[in-house]
């Protein structure tokens, strides 16, 4: 795969996905069918129980899911997503979300995403998502 596609997708996400900026997430890896994103949990990510809000973790997983599923340069949009929370994350924890393609067909693809604590490797959540793959490139050249 052309590295230019990865860079275009990464730049497009950084420039246009407002939640990415809000979370303070960083793309640390991207390949065909996979991606990795890191984010430090901050005070404004916490819920009333003083642990990372489930919606923040879901959003982090969804962002890395979008990167992996669009890494081929073909437009892919989520049609299904499910998350299981395993362990809480707290302020100061750095979370690592890794997406890996499980199956890719002509129109549908499934991805498995794990969210874990960077320093201990403890699993925080498991996310599974499915996309519809359109028959069109993300970027028209």
Ordered by where they begin, the domains of the chain are 3-137 (3.10.129.10)
Identify the H or E element spanning 33: none
Which SS3 state, helix, strand or coil, does residue 102 take?
Answer: strand
**Helices vs strands, H then E, count in the chain:** 3, 6
51 phi and psi angles, rounded to 5 deg: -120, 165
Which SS3 state, helix, strand or coil, does residue 108 take?
Answer: strand
- pLDDT grade, residue 40 (50/70/90)? very high
Render pLDDT for 115-134 as a digit per residue (tens, 0 to 9): 999 999 999 999 999 999 99
Render pLDDT for 2-30 as a digit per residue (tens, 0 to 9): 677 778 888 888 788 888 888 899 999 99
**Residue 85: pLDDT over 60:** yes
Which SS3 state, helix, strand or coil, does residue 81 take?
Answer: strand
């Amino acid at each position: 795969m052309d590295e230019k596609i990865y860079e275009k997708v990464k730049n497009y996400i950084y420039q246009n996905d407002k939640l990415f900026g809000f979370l303070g997430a960083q793309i640390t890896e991207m390949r065909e069918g996979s991606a990795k994103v890191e984010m430090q949990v901050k005070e404004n990510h916490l819920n009333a129980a003083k642990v990372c809000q489930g919606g923040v973790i879901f959003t982090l997983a969804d962002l890395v899911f979008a990167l992996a599923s669009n890494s081929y340069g073909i437009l892919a949009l989520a049609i299904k997503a499910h998350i299981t929370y395993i362990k809480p994350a707290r302020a100061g924890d750095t979370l690592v979300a890794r997406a890996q393609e499980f199956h890719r067909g002509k129109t549908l693809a499934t991805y498995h995403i794990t969210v874990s604590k960077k320093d201990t490797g403890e699993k925080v959540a498991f996310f599974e998502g499915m996309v519809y793959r359109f028959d069109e490139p993300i970027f028209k050249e």
